[in-house]
Amino acid sequence: MQVAVEWESAWINDPDGYTNVRSGPGTNHPIVLRIDDDEEIEFCETSGSWWEVFYEGEQEWYVGYMHKSRIVLDEDGDQN
Q: Where are the domains of the chain?
A: 8-72
Protein fold of 8-72 = SH3 type barrels. (2.30.30)
CA-to-CA separations, 62 to 11, 35, 68, 72, 76, in angstroms, rounded = 15, 11, 17, 19, 26
Is the predicted pLDDT of residue 3 greater than 80, yes or no? no
Does residue 21 contact residue 66 with C-beta atoms inside 8 Å?
yes
What pLDDT does 48 receive?
86
Class of residue 69 by CB neighbours under 10 A (exposed 0-12, middle 13-18, buried 19+): exposed
Q: Which residue has the higher pLDDT, 56 or 66?
A: 66
Strands 8-12 and 71-72: antiparallel
Instruction: Express each pLDDT in 26-41 by its tens digit.
Output: 999 999 999 999 889 9
SS3 62: strand
Q: What is the mean pLDDT of residues 50-54?
A: 92
pLDDT of 76 higher than 60: no
